[in-house]
Amino acid sequence: MFISLKELKRDEVEFSTTYDPGVLDFRGAEVEQLSALFFAGSAELVGGEIRIRGHLEGVVRHGCDRCLEPVEISVGKDLDLFYRPRRTIAREEEVEISKGESEVSFFTGDGIELKDLVSEQVILAVPMKAVCRPECKGLCPTCGANRNVANCGCKGPDRESPFADLKKH
């Protein structure tokens, strides 16, 4: 759904959208969408900026940072975002913004494509280092086996393996 400036100049726009897997473009981010994502809210013009308020809900999948097994991440967040038209910004002002207000977003053209906004918010919701569980043992650096599933028995610097324990007794 496209939120156009023209429409916003007339009135607030309410939306309720659903994105099926494959519709959103996560631009190379390691995010997999399993079921529909839901985004509902409203858009209005506030002092020349587009303000978008709404709630985003859904579940995405991401590879565990240690063992690469898929981890499900629930995305449920309330958003209150402001978008400034890029073309009205003078050069000096833009420099100032990059220093102080890095949270300001911009839009170009006649409005905002909600699909792009939702993709961006989903990427932001996925932690940089998502692990399947805090005690995940990860992959063996020697043979690549998933050490949560099987103990490959490789000898190595891993002192936490149960075999190392056995030798002590």
Which residues of this chain interact with Zn ion, rule CB under 5 A? Answer: 64, 66-67, 132, 136, 140, 142-143, 145, 152, 154
Residues 6+ apart with CB under 8 A from 54: 15, 39, 40, 41, 42, 78, 79
Least Cβ distance, residue 73 to Zn ion (angstroms): 13
C-beta of 150: minimal distance to Zn ion in Å? 9
- For Zn ion, the closer of residues 109 and 144 by Cβ is 144
Element containing residue 46 per DSSP (H, E): strand 37-46
Give the separation between CA 25 and CA 28, rounded to whole angstroms.
Answer: 8
Whether 112 and 50 have beta carbons less than 8 Å apart is answered as yes
Nearer to Zn ion, 104 or 131 (CB): 131
Taking the complex as a whole, how short is the minimal distance between the CB of residue 33 and Zn ion, in angstroms? 20
Using the minimum distance from each CB to Zn ion, give the nearer residue, 36 or 154: 154
